[in-house]
Chain A
């Protein structure tokens, strides 16, 4: 069964550093999403992406965040200057036939 893959599985960074989280969606899917889950809290929507542009973003997705699909296969989430409160599990998803398929997530730890 096709899978969404995310790398790295765990990223440790210092506050103020830039991080890039990578995702490879399922190849024939056109809609992509990023979600995050802070420890002990619910999974929250960050951003949706379609046709090489953001289709919706949440209040969490401020100017420190950006997404791109640089090469037609990878889908990346960049955090320009990480804050302690960015520590969370970040999930990528791609959608096909109205079902979202999720990656295993990247655990981001900001020190």
Chain B
């Protein structure tokens, strides 16, 4: 069955530290991948997406992700985090049929001021 793994469940960083959150997907066909962020009390917001083309995709708020097909990975990165990046981050891979999302377990990021 299709699955998505996020290995870091809780991450605590100081402001200005660099961030990398891991995401691995299992599906071997056409790949569409997403990162969403959920700030406390708010809805899931799209950070960035990969459909095809350049494997390094840039999203909002300075985030980027690299699609590495050989590693089945789509890791999220940010060179310098801010306190306002404190949130939960979800990697998602749509099912090829109804396009339902298969989510990773999420990573709670806490950035210390």
Contacts and interface: CB of A to CB of B under 8 A. Distances in A.
A100 interface: yes
A53 B46 CA distance: 27
Interface residues of A, number: 25
Contacts of A42: 103-106
Interface string B72-111: 0000000000000000001000100111111111100000
Interface residues of B, number: 23
A104 B45 CA distance: 9
A56 B97 contact: yes
Interface stretch (A63-71, A80-88, A91-99): A91-99
A104 to B, nearest CB: 4
A21 B32 CA distance: 29
A19 interface: no
Interface of B: 32, 34, 36, 41-46, 49, 51, 90, 94, 97-106
